[in-house]
Amino acid sequence: MAAGGFCKLPNGTVVVALNLPYGSAAVRVLVHAQNRARALTRLRNLGLRAIYLRGNAAPPSPDEITAVLHHPDGLIWRTAPADSGVVANELWHPIRALLRQPPVVQQG
C-alpha cells in the first residue's frame, strides 16, 4: 500500500503518483496511462505487486506531470521528499534504473 494520488488530464489520460517504500528510504513514482487501473497494472507488471491507490492524498504536482509527460516511457521515479517536502535538485530517473539496483539498507 502506498500514499499517492492522481490527476486526470484534459485528453482523458491520467498521471498517477505514488510514494513507495524502497529499502530504508522511499521513492516517488510517476506513471502516465489511459486510466488509474492501467497505471497500477504497469507497475504490477514490473514486479511491484502490492500497489494500491486509495484516495488522492498526494496528487502529482504540475512539475511532476510535465516531467512524466516528457519522458518517452511515461514511467519515472526519484527519491521521495522528506517531511519538509523539499527534494534536493534530484533529477527524475527511468524506472529501469530503480529496478536494476538493490535497495540501500542503512546499518545503524
In a domain, 107, yes or no: no
Strand ranges in the chain using DSSP code E only, listed in sequence order: 3-8, 14-22, 25-33, 75-79, 93-94
The residue-averaged pLDDT of 9-25 equals 90
pTM to 2 decimal places? 0.82
pLDDT at res. 14: 96
The residue-averaged pLDDT of 78-87 equals 69
In a domain, 17, yes or no: yes
In a domain, 33, yes or no: yes
pLDDT confidence bin for 47, thresholds 50/70/90: confident
Structural domain boundaries, residue 57: 3-98
Give yes or no for residue 92 having a pLDDT over 80. yes
In a domain, 84, yes or no: yes
Q: What share of the chain is helix, strand, coil (3-state, %, to 5)?
A: 20, 30, 50
How many domains in the chain? 1
The residue-averaged pLDDT of 47-58 equals 83
